[in-house]
Amino acid sequence: MAKRYKKDFVRGVLVEILQNFGGHSQIISDVVNVVIESSLRGLDTHGIAMVPKILKRCKEGRSQLSKPAEVISKEKGFSIAAMEGHLAPGQHSCLAATRLAKLLAAQRGVGLVTVRNSTHFGGCIPYLVEIIRDRMMGLIGSNSLRSMGVFGLSYPNLGNNPFGFAAPVSGGTDYIFDFSSAIMSFGKKAQLESDEIPVPEGAFKINERPDVKEGVSEIADSLSEIAEPFGGYKGASVAMMIEILSGVLGEGYVGEQTEIIQNGQFLGPSHFVLVINPASMPSKSFEERMKIFVDGIRRRSENVRIPGDKSLAIFQKRSMLGIPIDKDLIEEIKSLCEELDVEWQ
């Protein structure tokens, strides 16, 4: 049974936990903002629940909270930049990349920033919300450990790579979506199993090479099962595109070298953030045209749910009533509070 907690209370507890763990102020701010926004939007598996996982990774040497991500390549006059994540939480490094991509887009119309050597960044929505806040549009994605078997294979050869897109809409719900390249993410699968809800058939299949145990999976306890891509080869092709835009373009680790330990060193995933500033276009009516377009899809029907509708409804409800946190997660957070001398109430 989940109990609701006000966002400001949760924020205060999480900030103090990360401070007492020795985290850098900017990393703490970004991590807490991202996980709170995720939980407010209904992304529970990638929200507050990420904090115990982040600290676990830090204790295992697979992440760190003391050194922020930094820009390693940014040529004057260009709208493309690259960042080194230093194994900081992906919530920080991707939000830092988003801020930089917005700045480039404000100056030059388009901003593209890649991040290498990061860690799992959760869901895409918090970064898209950051872009929408300035009435810009954006595309975000990340590569990940090989966990799908595609193009005819029944063992992992491609990551379950997440991606999201958002665009502002005048006087209506902003268009925003956040997908995995698979039919279902491992996080969603775990949530269904925890709630004793059957996992839909066809979303996963048995890994025919369970002996292949390279690396550390951020999304599943084992690779005894692998995910199926949505739309068959179409979803697999999208996952390849995300890998190219993040790991290949950003000179990060790709394929089997994503999220693994190699020669005793953890190699993290890569992200990309692409921001477009509609205000730089000759026509200044982008948001109004989006409103016309979206209204045309709805066709005056209350039954049509556009990407962004559900997220906004959950956000409004949880902002008012509080964020539901289940008993097990509360116990995890309370345990961290005891360990790090943080008062829960």
pLDDT digits (tens, 9 = 90+) for 109-166: 999 999 999 999 999 999 999 999 999 999 999 998 888 889 998 888 888 999 999 9
The Cα–Cα gap between 142 and 164 comes to 10
Indicate the domain borders of the chain: 3-297+304-339
- Determine how many CB atoms are found less than 10 A away from the CB of residue 229: 24
Exposed, middle or buried by CB within 10 Å (0-12, 13-18, 19+), for 198? exposed
The Cα–Cα gap between 40 and 324 comes to 9
Helix, strand, coil: what percent of the chain each, to 5? 40, 20, 40
Contact by Cβ (8 Å): 294, 169: yes
- Residues comprising the chain, all counted: 345
CB burial readout 274-303, b (16+ within 10 A) else e: bbbbbeeeeeeebbeebbeebeeeeeeeee
Q: Which of 216, 224, 219, 211 is nearest to 149 (CA)?
A: 224
- pTM of the shown model: 0.92
| pLDDT-based confidence at residue 215 (cuts at 50, 70, 90) | very low
The Cα–Cα gap between 37 and 155 comes to 35
Contact by Cβ (8 Å): 139, 87: no
Collect all residues with Cβ–Cβ distance below 8 Å to 97 and sequence separation of at least 6.
69, 83, 113, 114, 115, 271, 272, 273
Quote the distance between the C-alpha of residue 310 and its chain's center: 18
Helix (H) or strand (E) holding 14: helix 7-20
| pLDDT-based confidence at residue 195 (cuts at 50, 70, 90) | confident
CATH code of 3-297+304-339, in short, is 3.30.1370.60
pLDDT of residue 284: 81
